[in-house]
A and B are shown apart, each in its own frame.
Chain A
């Protein structure tokens, strides 16, 4: 999208506000500040809610207390030196030990105090340590666990999202150029197939290609003895990516193409497009200047939100195809009551989303001259 493109018909207000440069700056500044504060409050509240849910309102602490007590009791039973102590002495030792352990886990403080501390830690991205999960290298650092899983998710969802997004746009544009054609009808007819999620198609594809034809693996990311040779590694990775990519494509492409195509068609029936056609502009020019340009904000929003959606991965999809990504890690964390990992992933998601929402406002103003930052308008 070159900036040298002529700007499509612009509202008159543009010229009116041009004279007041200073006030524009202060208006944008004030707007940005207010927006940042509200978004931050939003993030704080949603993380707080997540912590409450992930802690089961304190129930997870009960589980932790029970575990500590049991561990200490086990220690008493297995330690011959302690077994020789009198019962009274033994009990006292146990109680002291439990109190110490609980203090170490921070369980001696009231629930709310801990939740608030947890919240501040999370918000400052001090993600802390996982209680049960560990990274493959053996670390309990939530940061490391997430970083270790991130590449797997990025490789699969990053590539598929990027490829699919642009392929969809491309197909939709070409379909909108000749709607009513055979391929257009094919996509319109197949759009309802997107009712089923990707994991559902993954099961079908595994059935066909892995179980029946035996040409593709059932799941996982690389072959079982991981190939040493980087070339073979990539080859094995690619082989494992075929089914997931196909599943994601089938479940998403028809509906997205249908939606984009309809969206483009609505914009191509605007008067100024008719006018451009009448002027005899090439269809390429018409598309770039008169159809894509006004739809750019929507395209960018969808793109940004899709990319962020990659972060949460897809717990179910990754579980079905056995992909060691963030989504599956999240699901494992939930199964293990590992609050730190759950909150860690959520807080990063929240920040990414908030930053994107914040930036999108400015991007709108950049790509669409009709949008003015900080002014209440029906569009935003």
Chain B
């Protein structure tokens, strides 16, 4: 206990260690938050979900806060729904029980660019006669544009940008430009101010009703932006944290501890046991680590647990064994081991209680510095397309971004967000590891 306290106190003298610990604690906090806020099954459902979950998001939209740094403000996505009250809905019933429903979507538009798409999602209830809908658009300068009239089905989607008839009305301009641009300018420039979209529905049955959700796909969305499948990147960024930490920690622990025990067993029993262990180490030296992992990922399973197991198996007989072996060789000759043998301690007791603890100071810094390399290993596999097919991870996001040409198209946020998180994780653990190394190995202390 006192030892631990002393180590901690010494650790505080290294600013890089303090920074590392703070970042690690923050990452752990994010990981815990992610697991509580978005339960595992929910995260998977969202991550694997398609249009039906993410229809409110635009594709490949940068985070909303980037507007803060832009001179030309880009439109932020939003939705207005008559069902939840974010759009004003007025119903008037005539003598026959037919209703006229008017839904007004009023919103302020103060951006310097046009949205990606405008969509109306209709939900209507009727027995036989479909309600009739007409859509009108009121601009801040008082123009009224008639958009469309049609009989609405029980569930219907109307996409403004894909309406050819509407497009023809605006000539060379796209529908979005036609709706939002100042008509007296030669080039399309958005007109800022209060817009109104008015949907008027006429029903022909007593209990018939119409609701509609107006979705504006801007150029920006959410805290983290969206990807090519409209998914909110916040999900993989948040959930990537526990996955990365767990993978890194388990892999580092699994490899170092088993390697240590194997090295200790080899040194303690000596002769043929040691010989076999040495030969196996040489075989594993010849086996190319990454290619084998790639083969396992491609041929057998891309599950993160299989990859974790394979990683540990392939690294058990790694180069670490030789280093540990050299140390154990010295420790084995120490008088206290002889004393232990003299009082009749068993092999297991000597190996686990007397031999291995001696190497712990050497092991801990190594373990901490190993964590980032495994975090990056998982990301590397994901970047090659061998990431876990189910779990959302940082590497997967980079892979998606690469596959969809994010860098060519200037969607830097898509690559930078996961990359910065990876970098933070890597730096935090290795800064801590380096400092621990200096504390535990006094030979380096002065250097």
Give the B-binding residues of A (Cβ under 8 A).
38-39, 41-43, 45-46, 49-50, 53-54, 56, 59-60, 179, 189, 191-197, 199-200, 203-204, 206-207, 210-212, 218, 261-262, 265-266, 312, 315-316, 319-320, 330-331, 334-335, 337, 342, 345-346, 349-350, 353-354, 357, 378
Closest beta carbon of chain A to B324's beta carbon, Å: 14
Give the A-binding residues of B (Cβ under 8 A).
16, 279, 282-288, 290-292, 294-296, 298-300, 326, 329, 369, 372-373, 376, 379-380, 383-384, 398, 402, 407-408, 410, 412, 415-416, 419, 422-423, 426-427, 429-431, 433-434, 443-444, 447
Contacts of B329 in A (CB 8 A): 378
Question: In the complex, given contacts A42-B279, A54-B299, A211-B407, what are 19 additional A-B residue pairs having Cβ atoms less than 8 angstroms apart?
Answer: A39-B282, A42-B282, A43-B286, A46-B284, A49-B287, A192-B427, A195-B427, A196-B376, A197-B376, A199-B383, A203-B407, A203-B415, A261-B447, A331-B384, A334-B291, A342-B291, A350-B286, A353-B285, A353-B286
Contacts of A378 in B (CB 8 A): 326, 329
Do the beta carbons of B429 and A42 come within 8 Å of each other? no
Measured in the bound complex, the distance between the Cα atoms of B158 and A171 in whole Å is 66
Do the beta carbons of B299 and A191 come within 8 Å of each other? no
Contacts of B407 in A (CB 8 A): 203, 206-207, 210-211, 218
Do the beta carbons of B16 and A189 come within 8 Å of each other? yes
Most chain A CB within 10 A, of B383, B402, B416, is at: B383
Binding site of B, secondary structure by majority: helix, strand, loop or mixed?
helix
| Contacting residue for A218 out of B288, B408, B415, B434, CB 8 A | B408
Measured in the bound complex, the distance between the Cα atoms of B415 and A320 in whole Å is 13
Measured in the bound complex, the distance between the Cα atoms of B16 and A181 in whole Å is 18
Do the beta carbons of A195 and B299 come within 8 Å of each other? no
Contacts of A199 in B (CB 8 A): 380, 383
How many A-B residue pairs have C-beta atoms within 8 angstroms? Tell me. 131
Do the beta carbons of A320 and B426 come within 8 Å of each other? no
CB nearest neighbor in B for A38: B279
Contacts of B431 in A (CB 8 A): 192
CB nearest neighbor in B for A54: B295
Most chain A CB within 10 A, of B291, B298, B416, is at: B291
Do the beta carbons of B376 and A200 come within 8 Å of each other? yes
Do the beta carbons of A46 and B287 come within 8 Å of each other? yes
Measured in the bound complex, the distance between the Cα atoms of B375 and A197 in whole Å is 11
Closest beta carbon of chain A to B336's beta carbon, Å: 20
9 A–B contacts, CB within 8 A, in A order? A42-B283, A56-B300, A191-B430, A207-B407, A262-B447, A312-B288, A312-B291, A335-B298, A346-B291
Measured in the bound complex, the distance between the Cα atoms of B407 and A311 in whole Å is 30
| Contacting residue for A203 out of B372, B384, B398, B447, CB 8 A | B398
Most chain A CB within 10 A, of B380, B416, B431, B433, is at: B380
Closest beta carbon of chain A to B372's beta carbon, Å: 4
Contacts of A54 in B (CB 8 A): 295, 299
Do the beta carbons of A315 and B294 come within 8 Å of each other? yes
On whether A207 and B415 interact (CB within 8 A), knowing A42-B279, A43-B286, A53-B296, the answer reads yes
Most chain A CB within 10 A, of B426, B427, B444, is at: B426
Do the beta carbons of A211 and B410 come within 8 Å of each other? yes
Closest beta carbon of chain A to B276's beta carbon, Å: 12
Contacts of A206 in B (CB 8 A): 407
Measured in the bound complex, the distance between the Cα atoms of B282 and A42 in whole Å is 7
Measured in the bound complex, the distance between the Cα atoms of B444 and A319 in whole Å is 38
Contacts of B291 in A (CB 8 A): 312, 315, 330, 334, 342, 345-346
| Contacting residue for A53 out of B295, B402, B443, CB 8 A | B295
Do the beta carbons of B415 and A192 come within 8 Å of each other? no
